[in-house]
């Protein structure tokens, strides 16, 4: 396996899916730009965030997600 293949498997695969636990709503984001444009500030590592939503990538893997719209920051990594 080449270096590029190893790196790509360690990154989340888009689209990213967020399931909000209180409403059951499912939101799908196609890329980081989509997340920045359509999701309010969010940090899945914040206390209580795991009770709010389940976040998975296209392969069903859990994802850590940090979006700060005013800082133009979007960090997406595998949990």
Per residue in 31-45, pLDDT tens?
A: 999 998 998 888 999
Q: How high is the pLDDT of residue 4?
A: 43
- What residue spans define the domains of the chain? 3-78
* Residue of 37, 33, 29 whose CA lies nearest to 63: 29
- CA–CA separation, 22 and 30 (whole Å): 23
Across the chain, mean pLDDT equals 86
Give the pTM. 0.79
């Amino acid at each position: 396996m080449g270096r590029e293949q190893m790196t790509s498997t360690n990154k989340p695969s888009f689209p990213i899916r967020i399931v909000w636990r209180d409403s059951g709503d499912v939101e799908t984001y196609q890329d980081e730009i989509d997340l920045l444009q359509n999701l309010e500030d969010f940090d899945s590592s914040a206390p209580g965030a795991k009770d709010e939503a389940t976040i998975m990538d296209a392969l069903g893997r859990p994802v850590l997600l940090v979006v700060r719209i005013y800082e133009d920051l979007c960090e997406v990594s595998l949990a």
